[in-house]
Amino acid sequence: MAKKSLSTAPFLTVASAPHMHCGTSIKGMMSTILLALLPAVIGAVYWYGMEAIRVMALSIATAVIVEALCSKIMEKEVRVDDYHAVVTGLLFAFILPAGAEWWLVVSGSAVTMVLGKMLWGNFGGAPISAVAVGWAFCIVSWPVYINVDATMLNTTLVNPLTQLRYFGVESVADASMYNLFIGDQLGALGAVQVGALLLGGLILLARRVITWEIPVATIAAVLITGGIYYAIDPEMYANPLFHLFTGSTMLSIFFLLTDFTSTPNTRGGKILFGLMAGFLIILIRTYGQYPDGVLFAVLLANMITPLCDMIKPKPFGAR
């Protein structure tokens, strides 16, 4: 009886802390990320047409359905309405070629959700970037079907990274940075919309969904490490800006390396983490087996997150 009267007329409410909420929610942050990804979606549709829409829609649908199914099986609350599955599915589609087979999109997206998110609990549990997990699974399993050059045969765009890998630095020496910047290059459908992704990253920074440390440190490390190689021998190694504007570098810098759960929390840790990631990107590009190994760099950088989290200010009075 007493309960009933309380709920209808809360005159004096008694509750435990916290009493004030700043208003941010996972749903709100994910909506902002989706907004930030919108320019890149438009760019992808502009350069690759309906094929890009097909891959993105398939990937998002699979991610949402798989997350809902997993939550049911694990007897947990279904929380697909926080849009995290949508963001993950879209980001996974961004690193696929526009001509990817439907089964590759579906199985890759499902693996992204299961191995990258749901097996670790749910949102907030994964120590590694889910998208990079899905990509690594696909590239180890079906190297041909996820290869941009093998799946996109009827296109006039040129893949600068394959050129660099197989024809040496002269073949990309006259590549215009402006063309690379607006997305005039062959690559994964969303990852090469470099300018659009940069705009999206700036939106995220402005809306304070991400902080500046990781993007700035990663860009600095890419430029510095790439610059060192370029200074050693410009005839053998590509321009550092070229590395920044090709492949999945920009996507990783703003959307994968700033993932909430798999990156450090403290300022010093974030800077170290970003430097490590940028350094690895250039190393893998220079010596690796794959033309674009940026997502391996993301996975490896995620491995040092626990170490980076140890760099923290000493609390006052602690010994």
Where do contacts with another protein occur on this chain (CB under 8 A)?
103, 107, 115, 136-137, 140-143, 145
User: In whole angstroms, what is the distance from residue 68 CA to residue 88 CA?
Assistant: 14
Q: How many residues does the chain have?
A: 319
Kindly tell me which of 133 and 204 has the beta carbon lying closer to another protein: 133
Question: How far out from the chain centre does Cα 27 lie?
Answer: 18
Taking the least distance from each CB to another protein, the nearer of 115 and 224 is 115
Backbone angles phi, psi at 227, to 5 degrees: -65, -35
CB of 114 to another protein, least distance (A): 10
The three-state secondary structure class of 107 is: helix
Least separation in angstroms between CB 140 and another protein:
5
How many Å apart are CA 137 and CA 37, to the nearest integer?
Answer: 24
CB of 141 to another protein, least distance (A): 4
In angstroms, what CA-CA distances link 36 with 84, 132, 200, 215, 251? 14, 20, 4, 15, 11
Smallest separation, CB 121 to another protein (Å): 14
Task: Name the H helices within the chain.
Answer: 2-8, 26-48, 50-73, 84-94, 102-116, 130-141, 148-151, 160-167, 170-173, 177-181, 194-206, 213-232, 240-244, 249-251, 267-287, 294-303, 305-308
For residue 137, the minimal CB distance to another protein (Å) is 5
Q: Which is nearer to another protein, 107 or 155 (CB)?
A: 107
Comparison of 137 and 279: residue with beta carbon closer to another protein: 137
For residue 56 the two structure tokens come to 């993105």
Closer residue to another protein, CB minimum distance, 124 or 143: 143
End-to-end CA distance of the chain: 54
Cβ closer to another protein: 46 or 103? Answer: 103
103 vs 167, beta carbon nearer another protein: 103
CB of 104 to another protein, least distance (A): 8
Minimum CB–partner distance for residue 74 and another protein (Å): 11
